[in-house]
Structure 1
Amino acid sequence: MTLNQWRIQRLSNRNFLIVLSILVGILGGLAAAALKGLTHSIAAFLQDEVQWEYKYYLYLFFPLIGILLSVVYVRRFIKSKQMAHGMTPIMYAISRRSSRIEPHNMYSQIITSALTIGFGGSAGLEAPIANSGSAIGANIGRVFGLNYREITLLLACGAAAGIAGAFNSPVAGMIFAIEILLPEFSIPAFIPLLMSAATASVISRLIYSEPLFHLLTDDWNLDALFFYVLLAALIGLFSIYFSKLSAAVNSWFAGITNPYRKVWLSGLSLGLLIFLFPALYGEGYLAIQQILNGSYHALLDNSIFSGYSQYGYLIVLYALITVIAKSFASLITLNSGGNGGIFGPTLVMGGLLGFAFAYGLNLTGLVSLDIANFVVAGMAAALSGIMHAPLTAIFLIAEITGGYMLMVPLMIVTSIAYLINRSVMKHSIYTKALAEKGDLLTHEDKDRTVLSMMKLRYVLEKNFTILHPHERPMDRRYDIIHTKRNIFPVVDDQGKLLGIIYSERLFEILLGESNERDKTVADLVQKPADTVLVDANMEVVMNKMNREDIWILPVVDKSGIYMGFVSKSAVFNKYRALLMRQADYLG
């Protein structure tokens, strides 16, 4: 008796999912600890073991080396020569790939992101570990033959475990999975997500217990409420800038086809930026912790501007320029072949903006703001605006800083920043690319959502009688009479579709009711109302059918080779099946 058969007999599906969610949590916590430990070990070796007098010069090359090693690993060991980066591929897997994630992501994400960020790539660890955790959950579910609903739940458990393990924040990990990955939350999903996130957090803390930030705060001052609102508005505007910059940088790098050219260009650019702004090295959390500790001048330490650290306004200016530099550095890292996430850079940019805002106002002597509180609020606002994830921002920042006393300011700044960004950017930085391709799973429009989940190849019908241009209807009399179809594709010797002929016209010829008896198929063929590419989005297919008011369309590839037909009846049958699967998933 196999393990799967034994569990079917002894355990209910719900209890088995809880067991698997704990297993996913354990593996996700181990993966998070391994990634943090490996990344920080590489960074510590490069920063502590290398002689100080040469460090500035080596900073120019460390990011280049890290990205190059990451690209070489992918091209050497990943069969597809490509590897998904960021949260977007996880969402795509849920909506378009039946929650399938390639198994190599369980370890490849750890290796490539540790190389990228450990060598100074300006990115975060959260997206790689979420990818790794999602791959763990999805593939465990597939091993046990679970259905789409259950695999998707375990995938989300893996992502929650990754975030919880990376930040030691189980509540934020669970909320992240609900807010970002699960299209609609259902109560049965709550317990597995909670168990997975909590387990991962415990495992990660046992192995790698170093907290992300230390914050000591008693409370927040009601008199500062106006300034929290003002900060949120400014960061909301910044989040719009960053979202648009992300699209522009991504488009620019997409035009560079040679992967090693991207490496050299980005590596040297990053090296120069880090040389000027050392806080850009790696995740950048150290600079935020130094500010929380009150060491504001440390932002300029180890830079060529360190001699000016006694000038407060220059510190503010340097912090603002560092934010702009960080936005470019993180996007360059992620678009050049390096592996990392935008989550971490978002926290750093928000924290620096909060610092510059509060410290700058304090220098005027008109107000006295708690700078640490505004740093924390800035991180939450940036995360909410850029990611469209206000709940994740609130609980993540509260957990990683211990700033639970700031819950009200966090709620205010996250809401305002989110609303400002959403008023201009309909989709978050994660979902924009999916939405533009029609691959975004959303429940605002259920028809479009179900159609986006449907793949044309699954409804492609091929059992049609193919006619060739040199043939006459009488030559194919038997095939024409005995077919169950009323439409015949006409295809040349190379397999290209020339047109179609309807059965009514052929039957008239075969019954002698037409004077076209001696005509060849080439003489009888007619152009179809339209054709469909085999990789077309199903929403496009249905729009074509509705526009032409027809029930069936021929399908071809990009070269015009005949592939089959797609009919409304096949689409509707698949649509009903997907609705049933979706209802099962949400139930």
Structure 2
Amino acid sequence: MNSKTLRGRLNRKLDALNHWRMHKISNRNFIIILAFVVGIIGGVAASVLKALTHFIASTLQDDVDWHYKYSFYLFFPLLGILLSVLYVRKVLKAKHLEHGITPIIYAISRKSSQIPVHNVYSQIVTSAITVGFGGSCGLEAPIAMSGSAIGSNTGRFFGLQYKEVTMLLACGAAAGIAGAFDSPLAGMVFAIEILLPEFSIPVLIPLLISAAMASVVAQSLYSEPLFHTFSTEWEVSALFFYLLLALLVGGYSVYFAKISSIVKNWFTNIKNPYNKVWVSGISLGLMIFIFPALYGEGYIAIQQILNGQFNAIVKNSLFADYQDIGLVILAYSVLTLFAKSFAALFTLNGGGNGGVFGPSLVMGGLLGFAFAYGVNLTGITELNVPNFVVVGMAGALSGIMHAPLTGVFLIAEITGGYGLMVPLMLVTSISYLINRSILKYSIYTKVLADSGDLLSYEDKDRSVLSMMKVRYVLETNFVILRPEETPKMRQSDIIHSKRNIFPIVTEKGKLLGILYSERLFSILLGEEEGIDQPFSKLAETPTDLVKIHEEDMESVMLKMKKDDVWILPVIDKDGNYLGFVSKSSVFNKYRALLMRQGHYLE
């Protein structure tokens, strides 16, 4: 039996299964069932990713004398990024593997929520290699991408519509985050806040199920917590310092977004992918040589600080001899903080796979530590340093991702810091507002906004228009008139045309002008002279033209509004006639897109 016959038989059986399912199980109940499935698979994927990453890291680091580890640190990150690039180019046969949360948002807005199936495993393999070998980025974005691919392809496998596929995609992302952090509530909130910003109550049920199942599976298969929990209360007298920290974290989140664009532009100018590997790998190795806390995700350094080992960040560095000097610890922590931003961005832009989700937590924790530890050094007051570390993590996540609720619930869950709910709420809110007031879009959505691919719920009309392309609403069923022809010669075509406008086009395709049916009928009825005149002499100049290669639908609609016209001719860059775009076709497409995007959460 050949593969084509086997594929045909499988498709027929799948069609039969779907036919039975649609008659026996309601769509809503079927989504609930699939939410369980996606959650379980997402939890398994998260466990595999964490286990594989930590296996690689522990294999590279165990049984190696400390004095030789500096040389390994210099070599491992470069090797990890190189292996990741080789996997993408040689195994996937692709030039680029999308990473981060941005491709998920783009898939929802532009690709009917379709994510290639290879992302289920390729995200796990490449991110485990990158981070396991010391790449300074996080695993959360890759597992969110992997989970989204699980949800997307599950929905497509069962032939579901766009809104159901989008729902399952979000369930997969929630499962990935829940499994990675053992934080089901944060996984659900992340999916709503980042992927489904306009939602209704029924959305919560599948998301809760997927996130809860993923968390249960992840804890069963790989129970090592991200952070050891601690329980503490905050003092109202420290409120002023929490507010100061919020201002610092908000400012740092703006800095990180700015430096992210700069580093991305640097690497964009490097065309050879292997040159990117060398530049990023060697730079990262040198940074880790000076700041060992940059190795891998960086969570170990944060946990040590939470345990009260404030000098741990200096202890294993070149400056270990000065680990008991407070000012050295403070200065080194600040330098590590800024080095972390470059280390993460170099890893990601150089070819490694990961995300800024994890680094934002580490950077926020380091900033919170430096702030509280520095205040304590002054003797003004005595702040609870671990509390400020935890709150700083939430604030950085909120500002960088524009996700204050995710920041609050994630940090509260993974650290057990529910007693810090008030400062968590204040710091995340202020950090978000500072970043949002300066940068309209988050680090995830800015690229999409610049390219017009972002579905914005604040300006839905403009957003939906940005999703349209002129070629999608182009109408071509018009009677074309030639310059040398006359109304008498084309009388029958004119009378029987269902259109009221006629383009006059040369044999080579050039648009010379247009004529409206009212004038042509007037000429044919003898009310106006010109029945034997060539169309080249009767042609009228269009009010305006639409150039398909350089205009978007927003500018087209502005032209129509300015000139008070209903229809405009469309030409290519050489002036050749392509067709017409009318308000009717735009409105029809607009309604279709609005229904598709606005009701996928019903």
Q: Name the SS for the 1:585 alignment partner.
A: coil
Q: Is the 8 A contact 1:347 1:382 kept in 2?
A: yes
Q: Which range moved further: 397-406 or 419-428?
A: 419-428
Query: Which residue of structure 1 lines up, in the alignment, with residue 232 of structure 2?
Result: 218
Q: 1:224-303 residue pairs with structure 2 within 5 A?
A: 224-303=238-317
1:387-422 Cα shifts (integer Å, max 9, x gaps): 111111111001111112222221121122122222
Q: Name the SS for the 1:185 alignment partner.
A: coil
With over 3 angstroms needed to count, the CA separation of the structure-2 counterparts of 1:555 and 1:269, relative to structure 1, is: farther
In 1, distance between residues paired with 2:445 and 2:228?
32
User: Alpha-carbon deviation of 1:359?
Assistant: 1.4
Q: Is the 8 A contact 2:530 2:538 kept in 1?
A: no
Query: Which residue of structure 1 lines up, in the alignment, with residue 104 of structure 2?
Result: 90
In 2, distance between residues paired with 1:528 and 1:77?
54
Q: Which range moved further: 369-378 or 475-484?
A: 475-484
Q: Name the SS for the 1:502 alignment partner.
A: strand
User: Alpha-carbon deviation of 1:40?
Assistant: 1.8
Q: TM-score, normalised by structure 2?
A: 0.90
User: Alpha-carbon deviation of 1:77?
Assistant: 4.3
Q: Is the 8 A contact 1:215 1:292 kept in 2?
A: no
Q: Which range moved further: 557-566 or 101-110?
A: 557-566
Q: Name the SS for the 1:566 alignment partner.
A: strand
In 2, distance between residues paired with 1:295 and 1:47?
21
User: Alpha-carbon deviation of 1:281?
Assistant: 1.4
Q: Is the 8 A contact 2:143 2:177 kept in 1?
A: yes
In 1, distance between residues paired with 2:82 and 2:482?
53
In 1, distance between residues paired with 2:538 and 2:89?
52
Number of aligned positions between the proteins: 586
Q: Is the 8 A contact 1:215 1:372 kept in 2?
A: no
Q: 1:170-569 residue pairs with structure 2 within 5 A?
A: 170-466=184-480, 479-489=493-503, 497-504=510-517, 514=529, 517=532, 519=534, 521=536, 524=539, 526=541, 529-533=544-548, 536-557=551-572, 562-569=577-584
Q: Name the SS for the 2:599 alignment partner.
A: helix
In 1, distance between residues paired with 2:352 and 2:277?
8
In the alignment, does 2:44 pair up with 1:26?
A: no
In 2, distance between residues paired with 1:561 and 1:303?
67
Q: Is the 8 A contact 1:163 1:169 kept in 2?
A: yes
Structure 1: state its 5+ residue gaps: none
Q: Name the SS for the 1:564 alignment partner.
A: strand
Q: What letter is aligned with 2:269?
A: G
With over 3 angstroms needed to count, the CA separation of the structure-2 counterparts of 1:424 and 1:404, relative to structure 1, is: same
Q: Is the 8 A contact 1:175 1:391 kept in 2?
A: yes
1:31-73 Cα shifts (integer Å, max 9, x gaps): 1112112222222222226564443223223222222222333
With over 3 angstroms needed to count, the CA separation of the structure-2 counterparts of 1:105 and 1:511, relative to structure 1, is: farther
Q: Is the 8 A contact 1:63 1:270 kept in 2?
A: yes
1:191-215 Cα shifts (integer Å, max 9, x gaps): 1000000011111111111100113
With over 3 angstroms needed to count, the CA separation of the structure-2 counterparts of 1:118 and 1:498, relative to structure 1, is: farther
In 2, distance between residues paired with 1:338 and 1:361?
37
Q: Is the 8 A contact 2:250 2:435 kept in 1?
A: yes
Query: Which residue of structure 1 lines up, in the alignment, with residue 594 of structure 2?
Result: 579
1:522-543 Cα shifts (integer Å, max 9, x gaps): 9958466121326854323322
Q: What letter is aligned with 1:301?
A: K
Percent sequence identity is 65
With over 3 angstroms needed to count, the CA separation of the structure-2 counterparts of 1:333 and 1:474, relative to structure 1, is: farther
With over 3 angstroms needed to count, the CA separation of the structure-2 counterparts of 1:503 and 1:201, relative to structure 1, is: same
Structure 2: state its 5+ residue gaps: 1-12
In 1, distance between residues paired with 2:576 and 2:54?
53
User: Alpha-carbon deviation of 1:294?
Assistant: 1.8
Q: What letter is aligned with 2:284?
A: L
In 1, distance between residues paired with 2:61 and 2:572?
53
Q: TM-score, normalised by structure 1?
A: 0.92
User: Alpha-carbon deviation of 1:481?
Assistant: 4.8
